[in-house]
Amino acid sequence: MEPRVKGRVILFGDNINTDVIIHARHLRTIDPAELAEHAFEVLGDEYPQKLRQFDILVAGENFGCGSAREQAASCLVGAGLKAVVASSFARTFFRNAINTGLPIVECPPVRGAVQEGEEVEIDFARGTVTTPKGTFTFPGLPPSVMEILAVGGLVPYLKRKFATAGAPPPRAG
């Protein structure tokens, strides 16, 4: 995971649900690049291509609500998005983003501070999002969770864990 990401913003509103992000009929693969070919397709056939022209997705409240489908996060990775900034996230999307290595930032003021196509910069170490209208701070993720995101998601995290420690000790009792 990059310590800083900078790029052009694609903008969405509140309550963007997983059916809109990627429809159930496209869950035939787990390859992020293949999934990205159908991202936001329900909004228009041009959306999967449009998405690729941007770097950071900015949305309002409750982004990723609905299904627990992990592909809602991984299709955004496949589309080349470097991060998602939202006023709030649905909890299943929040976990899925971490597990697929997609950096997420909960920072409510950002949605109102950018226009589509403008540039923003996220500094994960400092916990800041810099927009044309000013710099906003966000609380960092807990260190144990950040560890998963930092290595690129749950599969690489598990690979490392098992390579170094073997299976974790069984629970007592």
Nearer to other proteins, 30 or 33 (CB): 30
- Least distance (Å) from other proteins to the CB of residue 151? 13
Cβ 132 to other proteins shortest distance, Å: 27
Closest CA to 83 of 45, 109, 110: 110
Q: Which of 91, 118, 117 is nearest to 104 (CA)?
A: 91
Spatial neighbors of 23 by CB under 8 A, at least 6 apart, are: 38, 41, 42
Minimum CB separation from other proteins for residue 107, in Å? 16
Residue the block writes with tokens 């041009």: 46
Q: If DSSP codes are grouped into helix, strand and coil, which group holds residue 50?
A: helix
**What sign has the CA pseudo-torsion 116, 117, 119, 120?**
positive
Indicate the residue among 17 and 128 with the shorter CB distance to other proteins: 17
Nearer to other proteins, 62 or 131 (CB): 62
- What letter would DSSP give residue 166? -
Cβ distance to other proteins smaller for residue 73 or 84: 73
The binding site for other proteins (CB under 8 A) comprises: 14-15, 17, 19-20, 23-25, 28, 30, 42-43, 61-62, 65-70, 73, 88, 90-92, 95-96, 99-100, 142, 144-145, 153-155, 158-159, 161-162, 167-168, 170-173
Q: 4 or 28, CB closer to other proteins?
A: 28
Nearest alpha-carbon partner for 91 in 110, 67, 56, 112: 67
Taking the complex as a whole, the smallest distance from the CB of residue 21 to other proteins amounts, in Å, to 10
